[in-house]
Amino acid sequence: MAHLFICPNCGTRSTASDRQRGFSREARGCPKCGFTFLFELMDDYYPAPDAAFFTADQSGRLIHCGRGAFELTGLDDERVMGRPASDVLGLAFDDGTDHVAQALEWGVRVLGKPVKVHAEGDLPAAATADLFPAYDDDGGLLIVLTPAKAAKSSAS
């Protein structure tokens, strides 16, 4: 059985026959950028080229800003490390649900949720959130925010 993985740092997708690196209990790392751990996916997932990646621990505190994070929010690891993801990113889901807490508590994926991102010191931006819980003993969450495309004006 092939396991599907995605790197929270660079967004590279990969497959492997086991979850660990060789015969060790060490987590699988990214074959492209060398990041120390990957998130396992239940189904294949193709992030948009402009998607922003964030990693949170089992309590919802940010531990890493990956590809596209700075471009979307202006935030980097030093400014967010150890702080609650929903607070730092200013996530306001359209339906009012705290999908970050839900994904962590229930251990389920949450896909395609419209969200307003209002990161510290930045203007609010519309996006779509995809949340992936970690399926290991450490827990955690991969947060992928894809900026909404601006509506094209129809000039006649």
Tens-level pLDDT at each residue, the chain (156 residues): 677 888 888 888 888 765 555 555 666 788 888 888 888 877 777 888 899 999 999 999 999 999 999 888 888 888 889 999 988 999 999 999 999 999 999 988 999 999 999 987 678 889 999 999 987 767 789 999 999 875 444 443
Residue 156 lies in a domain: no
Residue 115 lies in a domain: yes
The two most distant CA atoms of the chain are separated, in Å, by 64
Are the C-beta atoms of 92 and 79 separated by less than 8 Å?
no
Residue 88 lies in a domain: yes
Domain, as residue range, for 98: 3-147
Task: Count H helices and E strands in the chain, helices first.
Answer: 4, 9
Q: How far apart are CA 63 and CA 57, in angstroms?
A: 6
Residue 155 lies in a domain: no
Residue 87 lies in a domain: yes
**Predicted pLDDT of residue 21:** 53
Q: pTM value?
A: 0.80
What CATH number should be reported for the domain holding residue 90? 3.30.450.20
Q: The tokens 């621990």 sit on which residue?
A: 57
**Predicted pLDDT of residue 19:** 55
Q: Kindly give, in sequence order, each residue whose CB lies less than 8 Å from that of residue 119, ignoring residues fewer than 6 positions away.
A: 72, 73, 74, 75, 88, 89, 90
Up-side HSE of residue 69: CA atoms within 13 Å toward CB? 26
Residue 152 lies in a domain: no
Residue 154 lies in a domain: no
Residues forming a β-bridge with 41: 4
Residue 111 lies in a domain: yes
Return the ∠ at Cα 120 (arms to 115 and 123), rounded to 5°: 60
Number of domains in the chain: 1
